[in-house]
Structure 1
């Protein structure tokens, strides 16, 4: 029987749809719902806070629209689910869950589940919104019980630059984070494409590299009882 997984992201996202279609195993159908935002040229933490407000304000309506196709799971793929620390993230998801009988899977909680399953305690964080999100991503992982060995951002100065990040810049950031001594590197930000780099990055770094997009789909399928093993996308999909 086919499995249908929906995902909600801000309307400016150009990455997760392609990555999910690449990852989806046979018999898995993915469905994207965009949360309309107008705050799209964000260059500082005030602009990012305004974007966060637009995303959270549009979640319930988008959830209702996506629920009309009755997917088996809905993944909350946006950065907003990391906000407010561990407790704030939990409260946001619980509030949204009251609007639907479809089980919700947050990207934030998916990463925590994956890290714990791998036995990881020390984490390096690749955050494309570093300097814009007022430390919200870092706070979430610390409050979730992980030691943050380092956090690295990207050269761009606006969220519009994120999906256009070069492979060279990604590799340089991963290398810098690896030098801080983590047991794994976590990449957040659904609009940063790194899925195609996971396997090679793990090979030369020698540690797991987790993408929020790939981990969200992994968690959704595992919660549906699917045990698909994918090769070429890192050890999470291959071994867990």
Structure 2
């Protein structure tokens, strides 16, 4: 017997309590026979103006606890919708954090943003990237340093200046279009957007049409990587070339 609604794949999704964008975006990406099962991290709406340290510290243990709420439904894989800890501590912290989360998941495969972005950018043969973040300057610097230390040439970074995690979901499509135009240029192979509370999937699809280059968004790349890693080849249109063509 298999799950009646998710016979092909059951995806566990961990999101912060303040995040209102990731769950609906991932539902829109879901192929027939695949189901998503969300566990929320119990977190406060910390100020990003005062720095990201408090946010990261508060999220570490709550991530593991959220995973523990998902495991009983027996998902096939778990997607982690929070990554500032990795960006903050650098690429060398990724393997220990990933192993820790796999342990919390009882050995289930765990999908995180660094691996998903790297897979997508490698597929697109993109080394020179422009990055959109939801953060203020201190967060922008951490993200830029992470991609640089991972072997990418970060041409430009555009922070959206959100004052708290909950406010990230308030960023409009018009603001995102402006950010794309601001950081694009002939010296950029691909545009990358980090932050799972930014609803940018449909904007990215439109932007690729007039830019003629990949626009890789956080929610789409995480779900794409989870699907492909688990043998789901379905093409999903409307959210960019990554899911529509690869």
Q: TM-score, normalised by structure 2?
A: 0.91
- Mapped pair 1:236 → 2:236: no
Correspondence for 1:106: 112
Q: Is the 8 A contact 2:48 2:135 kept in 1?
A: no
SS at match of 1:98: helix
- Mapped pair 1:55 → 2:59: yes
- Which consecutive residues of structure 2, in runs of 5 or more, have no partner in the other structure? 1-6
5 Å-filtered alignment, 1:6-21, equals: 6-21=12-27
Q: CA deviation at 1:134?
A: 6.4
State the Cα deviation string for residues 50-103 of structure 1 (Å, max 9, x = none): 011111121222111111111111011102343311111222112221232211
Q: Which moved more, 1:182-191 or 1:55-64?
A: 55-64
Alignment counterpart, residue 218 of structure 1, candidates 224, 228, 233: 224
Q: Which moved more, 1:200-209 or 1:177-186?
A: 177-186
Distance 1:164 1:143 in 2: 30
SS at match of 1:116: helix
Correspondence for 2:72: 68
- Which consecutive residues of structure 1, in runs of 5 or more, have no partner in the other structure? none
Correspondence for 1:92: 97
Q: CA deviation at 1:43?
A: 3.3
SS at match of 2:39: strand
5 Å-filtered alignment, 1:138-177, equals: 138-177=144-183
Distance 2:150 2:245 in 1: 23
- Mapped pair 1:179 → 2:217: no
Q: CA deviation at 1:156?
A: 3.9
Q: Is the 8 A contact 1:45 1:133 kept in 2?
A: no
Q: TM-score, normalised by structure 1?
A: 0.93
Cα distance change, pair 124–134 in 1 and its aligned pair in 2 (3 A): closer
Correspondence for 2:127: 121
SS at match of 1:34: strand
